[in-house]
């Protein structure tokens, strides 16, 4: 748990009525943004998201290239070529890998 690890989090939320928070959150400091500031902060948000996407895309590219090389070696040794389906499959990423890449970013 966050308490056991002595981890603390600052959670910034805008004043949207859909943001319902539990009354107690251990080790979470919740701060509400002033009204009408979201539009000014979205540019910052877009920059952060763009940087994260770029890092994840780099990791995915490395993953696909590694998979491609493994497939290429396998089929070269077998003297055949991969099917279109197998080539398409190498671009698929499981959820666990994607989450790990986001954590690493």
H-state helical runs in the chain = 38-78, 84-89, 95-104
Residue 41 has pLDDT above 80, yes or no: no
Phi, psi (deg, nearest 5) at residue 20 = -100, 125
Cβ(6)–Cβ(26) below 8 Å: no
Residue 49 has pLDDT above 90, yes or no: no
Residue 66: the pLDDT is 92
Mean pLDDT is lowest, of 37-46, 50-59, 61-70, for 37-46
């Amino acid at each position: 748990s966050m308490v056991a690890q002595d981890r603390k989090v600052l959670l910034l939320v805008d004043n949207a009525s859909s943001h319902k928070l539990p009354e107690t959150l251990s080790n979470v400091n919740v701060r509400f943004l002033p009204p009408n500031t979201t539009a000014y902060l979205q540019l910052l948000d877009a920059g952060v998201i763009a940087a994260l996407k770029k890092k994840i895309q780099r990791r995915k590219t490395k993953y696909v290239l590694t998979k491609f090389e493994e497939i290429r070696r396998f089929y070269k040794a077998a003297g055949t070529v991969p099917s279109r389906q197998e080539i398409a499959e190498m671009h698929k990423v499981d959820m666990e890998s994607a989450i790990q890449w986001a954590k690493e970013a």
